[in-house]
Chain A
Amino acid sequence: EAQVTQNPRYLITVTGKKLTVTCSQNMNHEYMSWYRQDPGLGLRQIYYSMNVEVTDKGDVPEGYKVSRKEKRNFPLILESPSPNQTSLYFCASSRVRGAGASEQYFGPGTRLTVT
């Protein structure tokens, strides 16, 4: 089954404790992206990747890191989480590099709480 998986689905952590949210897709997609969703602010893009070893900042990259060492994986790293990073996070992938050129497939989401 074609899908994007994220782990963990739920995470409660404390300020400053490094964490990684994994994202994996099995569709051989070129493009992958991370978004955060907050009430009243909608979805905002954090980082995106057009291919292996090619990543770029989205609209809200501060406090996050990403890497794309393999085509299928695109982990999101919070080196020192803070309470303002409490949010619902989504990973997405699409077949072509242009973000708007084809549909994006979304993962189920990771609900992160930083206390």
Chain B
Amino acid sequence: SQQGEEDPQALSIQEGENATMNCSYKTSINNLQWYRQNSGRGLVHLILIRSNEREKHSGRLRVTLDTSKKSSSLLITASRAADTASYFCATADLSGAGSYQLTFGKGTKLSVIP
């Protein structure tokens, strides 16, 4: 099944800076989701953006979606040490059995230095 790919693989920034992570995917989708994972723990859902939306905000998070380029970005503004985690994008294929499978990228590991 198709897979999202995050870029960069790792990102290190100072507290207070903004962090941007990108995700590219391969096939048509209904929506795209972003998740966060603290080391070794379960994933936590951050935001879902539908294919007919271009931008969505949630607190310090801003997600964009460009379906023509099959890409999405996650921006975390004014980062905090507590934002240190891995971030994953996830998509489901538009049709057939793929619509029942959520496929995750390999993630971006974000380190926020106090």
Contact = CB atoms under 8 A, between A and B. Distances in A.
A74 interface: no
A98 B48 CA distance: 14
A106 B43 contact: yes
A106 B40 contact: no
**B32, B33, B42, B92: most-surrounded residue (chain A CB, <10 A):** B42
Q: How large is the interface on A (under 10, 10 to 19, 20 to 34, 35 or more residues)?
A: 20 to 34
A88 interface: yes
B102 A100 contact: yes
Contacts of A42: 3, 88, 104-107
B100 A99 contact: yes
Given A33-B102, A100-B102, A90 B92 contact: no
Is chain B's interface secondary structure helix, strand, loop, or mixed overall?
strand
Interface residues of B, number: 29
Contacts, number: 76
Contacts of B42: 4, 90, 106-109
**A102, A103, A111: most-surrounded residue (chain B CB, <10 A):** A103
Contacts of A107: 42
22 contacts: A41-B106, A42-B104, A45-B101, A45-B103, A48-B100, A48-B101, A50-B100, A58-B101, A88-B40, A90-B42, A92-B43, A99-B92, A100-B90, A100-B91, A100-B99, A100-B102, A103-B48, A104-B102, A106-B42, A106-B43, A108-B42, A109-B40
